[in-house]
Amino acid sequence: MVLRAVIVLAVFVIMAFTISHAVMAHELASGDTPFAEVKLASWMAGLFGGGLVAVLVGIALILKRR
């Protein structure tokens, strides 16, 4: 049980950082948006994307156990 929780948490953290960096690189390359706005948008995208992937992995781990 603890191992599954650690896996879901690790997936969340890795995907959140990956998505955040990808969004920030894309926004900084595309134009003249203020840096604070780009930073906030990338953090929110990372949290949303990481949470989504973590939920899907958690569901897959629960269904795999049955």
pTM: 0.86
Amino acid at 6: V
E strand intervals along 1-66: none
Q: Indicate if the alpha-carbon torsion angle 33, 30, 13, 66 is positive or negative.
A: positive
Please compute, for residue 31, the number of CA atoms within 13 A of its CA located in the half-sphere on the CB side: 3
- Name the token pair of 33: 């948006």
**What pLDDT digit, counting tens, does each position of 5-57 carry?**
999 999 999 999 999 999 999 988 888 889 899 999 999 999 999 999 999 99
